[in-house]
Amino acid sequence: MIDALADLASISVTTLKGVGPALAKKLAKLGIESVQDVLFHLPFRYEDRTRITPIGTVRPGESYVLEGEIVACDIAFGRRRSLLAYMQDSTGKIALRFYHFSKAQQNNLKNAGSVRCFGEVRNGAAGYEIYHPEYTKLDAAQEMDDALTPIYPATEGVSQARYRAMAEQAAALLDRHGMPDIDVGASSYVNTNLVDAIRYLHQPPPDANTQTLLEGKHPAQHRLAFEELLAHQTSLRIVREELKKLTAPGLAPPGDLYSELGNSLGFDLTGAQSRVAKEVADDMMSASPSLRLVQGDVGSGKTVIAALAAIHAFENGLQSALMAPTELLAEQHFINLSAWLNPLGIKTAWLTGRVTGKKREQELAAIAMGDAGVVIGTHALFQKDVHFKELGLIIVDEQHRFGVHQRLALREKGVDGNASPHQLVMTATPIPRTLSMSMYADMDVSVIDELPPGRTPVTTTVLSDERRADIIDRVAAACSEGTQAYWVCTLIEESEALQCQAAEVTAEELGKFLPDVSIALIHGRLNAREKTAVMNDFKAGKIQLLVATTVIEVGVDVPNASLMVIENSERLGLAQLHQLRGRVGRGSKQSHCVLLYKKPLGTISKERLEVMRQSNDGFFIAERDLEIRGPGEILGSRQSGALQFRIADLMRDREMLADVRKASVNLLQHDRGSAEVLVNRWIKDPEKLGQV
Ligand code: ADP
Ligand code: MG
C-alpha cells in the first residue's frame, strides 16, 4: 500500500539532488514547491533527436538533427549583421545563421568540417535557414538519443537539462510512493492510469509513438489533459458553490422608475436587450448572490442594461457601483447614466484618480451616506477610504480589462458577514462557446445577439501601407464631405511612451498633407482633462480627424465618425481590431474601415485580416481567431492567465469537454474529498481561477 509512504505533495523539492535554496526560490516563483509539483510541470513539447534527417527533405516549421559539411562561413550584412554558414550533405544545403557570435566562434565554425546540428528550419533570406542552431563538431563516437527529448515550459533561470534531471528523480520517487489515482469517470479519453501517464510524458520510452506524442494525441496526454480540464471545471464549480452559500438582497420586482427609463430613452429596447434585462432583474430578485456575464458585441447597447439594473437596485434602497477600465470610458458612462438617472431622482457620484481634494471628500461622503445611488468610476472605486452605505450591485464594464483581484476588491466593499452584492459583468469581447464553457463552467451568461436597428455594417478594406498616400486622399475627401474620421496608430512596442510618440509624428505628418482638415491628437500621455476636452471637441464636430492610439478602443461613441484607418493592423489581435472598428458604424451613414499593414505579411496574418474583411460579427471573428491563434492570445494577457493549462489545449481537446462536464458534476456529488485533492494537484490558486 502507498499509504505508509509520504504523499509526494508534502515532500519539498529541496529533497531532490541539486536543488538548493537559490534554485528552490526560482522554482517557487513557478509554483513548484513539492515533488508532486515537479511531476505536474509537464513537458509542453518534444524534440526528436533520435535520428538524422537528410538536408534535402526538411520542411520549415519543424526541428531536425542534421549532419553535414560546413562549406562556407562568412559575415552577412543585411538589415542586421549576422554570421552565415552553409552546411551540406549529399541531399542538399542549408544555411545556419547567428546574430550573436564571437570572432572565435566564426573561426571555429569555418574550420569545423563535419558538424551535427539541431534546430528549427525557417524560410529565410538565404532559403531554408536555422537561426542559432545548437551544433557540435562531429566525431565518430557520437550517439543519437534513443528517445524523444521532453521540453519544459520556460523556467527562468532553470535550464532544460536541470529540469530534466529533477523530473527524473521525481519520477523515481513516483514509482516508490505512488499517487492517489482518482476515479475520473468513464470516457474514451481515459484509458490509462495516472502514474503511468505522468511517467510516460516525462520520459517517453524509446519505442514511443513519436507522431501521436508530437501531436498531443497520445493516450497518456489524453489522460492528463482530461484530468486537468476536470480539475479546472471542478474548481470553478466549488468557487461558485461557495458564492451561493452567501446571501444577497433579494429585490422586489422592478417598479415605476424602471419603466420610466424605458419611456424616456427615445428608443425601444431591442428584443435581445429586453430579454437580457429580464434575466438580470430575475437574478437580483433571488436572495443568493448572482454573477452574470453579459456579452454583447460593440454597440449592442449594454449600457442600458446596466442602467436598468442600477435603477432596480435603487428602487430597493440599494446602491450600485459601476467600474470601467479607463477614465475616458468611466466619464462617458457618468455622462450617459447621469442623463438617464438624474431626472428619475437618482443621484450619481463619480470617482476616478482625477477626482481629488474637496471634490473627492464630497463624493466619498455622498457614497458613505447613501445619497449617491449609483457610483461610477475606475479602479479608484475600491480604494480603502471608499465606503458604501449599502452596496447591492456591482457592475463591471469591459471586464476582460480588469484583473480578477480588482473585481474581488470591489466585491469586498459589499460583503458584510454572510451577505454579498449581486454582480453583473459586461464584455464586448465575444468569448467563443468553447472557451466560455471551460472558463465559466456554470456561470450565467446572457448574450445580446442583436444590434439596434438602423446601423449600417462597416465595410472593411485591407491594404498595404504602400497605399498610404491614397488613403490620406480618401480621408481628405471624406472630411470635405462632413464626415469625421479616426486614424489609429499602433506599435508593437509595449512602451506607452513610444506609442504616443508615433501618434504625435503621424499627426504632424497628416497635418502637412491635410492643411484644410482640423486634426487633433489623443493618446495615453494626455491627462484626463485634456483627453476629455479633445473628445468633447470631436463629439461636437470641431475636430474632423482624430489621430489616436488604442486609448479609443473602448466606449467612445461618436455616431458621425464613419471612417477609420488603422495602421499596422497586422500587429493587433482580432478582438482588439473588432473593438476599434466598433467606433465607426454607429450612425446611419455607411462606414468604412481601412486596415493598413506592413509588408511582408505572413500567411497567418493574411488569414486574420481576411477574417476582419469578411465579417462584422464579433462571435464569428472570435471563433476564427481561436482557430488561427489558439486561446491564450485571444483574451489578452490578464484573462488568459486563467487559461494557462499545463497540458490541455482547449482547441485540440475540445471534444473532451462534454465528458469533463459530466465527470465534474458526478465527482462533486459523490466524492467531495477526491474532488479537492484533484483541484489542489493541478491548480495553485483556485480562488483566483474561479473569479474570472
Ligand atoms: P455597447 O454595448 O458597445 O456598450 P452602448 O451601450 O454604448 O453599446 O450603446 C451604443 C449606442 O447605441 C449608444 O448611443 C446607445 O444610446 C444606443 N442604443 C442602445 N440601445 C439602443 C436601441 N435599442 N435602439 C437604438 N439605439 C440604442
Ligand atoms: Mg460599452
pLDDT digits (tens, 9 = 90+) for 578-628: 888 988 988 878 999 999 998 888 888 888 999 999 998 888 887 787 777
According to the 3-state scheme, what is the secondary structure of 540-567?
Answer: CCCCCEEEECHHHHCCCCCCCEEEEEEC
586 CA to centre of ligand 2 in angstroms: 12
Say what the pLDDT of residue 637 is: 36
Percentage of the chain lying above the pLDDT 70 cut: 89
Strand partners, 148: none
Distances (CA, A) of 386 to 220, 368, 394: 51, 8, 14
Sign of CA dihedral 127, 130, 132, 134: negative
Least confident of 82-91, 339-348, 637-646: 637-646
pLDDT digits (tens, 9 = 90+) for 214-270: 788 899 999 999 999 999 888 888 877 877 788 999 999 999 999 999 888 989 999
pLDDT digits (tens, 9 = 90+) for 283-335: 999 999 888 889 888 888 999 999 999 999 999 999 999 998 888 788 889 98
DSSP code of residue 375: E
pLDDT confidence band for 527 (50 / 70 / 90): confident
pLDDT higher than 60, residue 132: yes
- Taking the whole predicted model, whether its pTM rises above 0.85 is answered as no
Q: Best mutation site among 263, 456, 557, 591 for ligand 1, i.e. most ligand atoms within 8 A of its Cβ?
A: 557
The reply to whether ligand 1 has any atom less than 6 angstroms from the CB of 428 is yes
Grid coordinates belonging to 16:
531532490
Under the phi-then-psi rule, with left for phi > 0, alpha for psi from -120 to 50, and beta for the rest, what region is 441? left
> Is residue 170 within 8 Å of residue 38, measured between CB atoms?
yes
Q: Which residue has the higher pLDDT, 546 or 443?
A: 546
pLDDT higher than 70, residue 441: no
pLDDT higher than 80, residue 688: no
Instruction: For residue 60, give the 3-state DSSP assignment.
Output: coil
Say what the pLDDT of residue 37 is: 92
Instruction: State the average pLDDT over residues 208-214.
Output: 82
Instruction: For residue 77, give the 3-state DSSP assignment.
Output: strand
Say what the pLDDT of residue 268 is: 95
For the CA of 586, the nearest ligand: 1
Strand partners, 63: 120
269 CA to centre of ligand 1 in angstroms: 9
pLDDT higher than 80, residue 464: yes
Say what the pLDDT of residue 33 is: 92
pLDDT higher than 70, residue 554: no
302 CA to centre of ligand 1 in angstroms: 7
Say what the pLDDT of residue 6 is: 78
For the CA of 330, the nearest ligand: 2
Beta-strand relationship, 592-597 and 459-464: parallel
Q: Best mutation site among 264, 267, 335, 336 for ligand 1, i.e. most ligand atoms within 8 A of its Cβ?
A: 267
pLDDT higher than 60, residue 160: yes
Question: Which alpha helices (H) appear in 219-270, and where do they start and end?
Answer: 219-245, 256-264
Say what the pLDDT of residue 638 is: 35
Instruction: State the average pLDDT over residues 28-57.
Output: 89
Least confident of 370-379, 442-451, 550-559: 550-559
Q: What is the mean pLDDT of the chain?
A: 86
pLDDT higher than 90, residue 370: yes
Instruction: State the average pLDDT over residues 560-574.
Output: 90
Percentage of the chain lying above the pLDDT 90 cut: 48
Distances (CA, A) of 614 to 24, 44, 81, 465: 51, 34, 40, 20
Question: CB 33: neighbour CB atoms within 10 A?
Answer: 17
For the CA of 322, the nearest ligand: 2
The ligand 1 atom nearest the CA atom of 273: 23
Instruction: State the average pLDDT over residues 633-650.
Output: 56
Say what the pLDDT of residue 634 is: 42
